[in-house]
Amino acid sequence: MTDTIEVDSISKYFGQVTALDGVSATITGGEVTCVLGDNGAGKSTLIKILSGVFRPDEGVVRLNGERMKFSSPRDALARGIATVYQDLAMIPLMSVWRNFFLGNEPVRGLVPVRNLSVDWAKRTVVDEMAKMGITIRDPEQRVGTLSGGERQSLAIARAVYFGARVLILDEPTAALGVKQAGIVLRYIVMAKKRGLAVLFITHNPNHAYPVGDHFVILRRGRAEGDFRKEELPLDSLMQMMAGGEDLRDLVEELERIAAETGEAELAETAHGIVAEVEDLRGIGRGDQR
Ligand SMILES: Nc1ncnc2c1ncn2[C@@H]1O[C@H](COP(=O)(O)OP(=O)(O)OP(=O)(O)O)[C@@H](O)[C@H]1O
Ligand SMILES: [Mg+2]
């Protein structure tokens, strides 16, 4: 079963500041919902409402038709809504496998086991990461020595492994170069293919466009629209496509990863993106002539 979150006319005020003003959106399993907007647009506030950190002052959020009233992030997590923040809540000096199981220590028959299951835990991390195309050479490696993209991917893999059905990612690619962003974007597509609802927050349309199914654009707390990819108006689209070189590099990177890993599905995604980009380029050129 896939999940649906309906954000219905949410407002949030901080004193005189209106952080969110009547925002509505629908987030569904098997789709990537992108929330785009400049600094201060209200993106993080929206996430914090969905993940149980804040309560809205007005409006309601429904999960599968039922009104959500989370009193804490733990509450949200128990309902399968996992949020990966930029600081990731990982411990850099701790090993990859310990970070993966942090707060979810392996147990045997409801009893936490120390030595018995460590090998299993290490194997699990390596396997889970391998499934997503990332080779962890040594699960004892410290998280602080992973690349930014690998670290983000580990956090996402952890959320998926422990049963997240709604995955909220706050600017997961913000600090990353093209190559590393490619790793995270690939992960986003895979989570979506597993049926998760992915909410991808970014202010980089070049990162959002290749993976997004629809786009919620926030401006000063107001949603300027919720566009499906196929109906995104040309001018908004071209606005989003500004700086297309970035996107081209990214597509090449995705293609390269697909060729390297031989993952048919991923190759398909990359080729789909290429076709889409070529299409858009064609439209763009036609428009300018
Ligand atoms: N706890 C808070 N107290 C007071 N004002 C806040 C608080 N959190 C957010 N705001 C204000 O609400 C508005 C929206 O902030 P928010 O963090 O949601 O923006 P954002 O879109 O995530 O921006 P950025 O891209 O910089 O992360 C801003 O004007 C911000 O100053
Ligand atoms: Mg923010």
Residue with tokens 């909220």: 168
Instruction: Please report the atom of ligand 1 found closest to the CA of residue 42.
Output: 18
The ligand placed nearest to the CA atom of residue 21 is: 1
pLDDT of residue 103: 66
Q: Mutual orientation of helices 244-261 and 178-193 as an angle, nearest 10°? A: 70
Indicate if ligand 1 lies below 6 Å from the C-beta of 204.
no
Q: Which two tokens stand for residue 67?
A: 């009104």
| Furthest-apart CA atoms within the chain: distance in Å | 70
Of the candidates 190, 186, 170, the one whose C-alpha atom is nearest the C-alpha of residue 178 is: 186
CATH of domain 4-95+148-231: 3.40.50.300
Q: Which two tokens stand for residue 24?
A: 């509505």
User: Model confidence at 132, in pLDDT bands (50, 70, 90)?
Assistant: confident
For the chain, how many residues are written? 289
Of the candidates 123, 166, 132, the one whose C-alpha atom is nearest the C-alpha of residue 150 is: 132
Minimal-distance CA residue to ligand 1 atom 26? 39
Predicted confidence (pLDDT) per residue in 147-175, tens digit: 877 888 888 888 888 888 999 999 888 87
- What b-and-e string marks burial along 77-104, b requiring 16 or more CB atoms within 10 Å of the CB? bebbbbbbbeebebeeeebbbbbbbeee
pLDDT (average), residues 273-287: 52
User: Model confidence at 244, in pLDDT bands (50, 70, 90)?
Assistant: very low
Predicted confidence (pLDDT) per residue in 192-243, tens digit: 988 999 999 987 777 888 899 999 988 889 998 788 988 875 456 556 544 4
pLDDT of residue 67: 93
Count of Cβ atoms closer than 10 Å to residue 238 Cβ = 16
pLDDT (average), residues 238-259: 62
Among 7, 14, 47, 219, which is best to mutate for testing ligand 1, by the most ligand atoms less than 8 A from CB? 14
Predicted confidence (pLDDT) per residue in 73-86, tens digit: 888 888 899 888 76
Q: Which two tokens stand for residue 252?
A: 């090449």
The ligand placed nearest to the CA atom of residue 41 is: 1
Sign of torsion over alpha carbons 29, 33, 39, 42: negative
Minimal-distance CA residue to ligand 1 atom 16? 42
Q: What is the C-alpha separation between 135 and 140, in angstroms, rounded?
A: 13
pLDDT of residue 45: 94
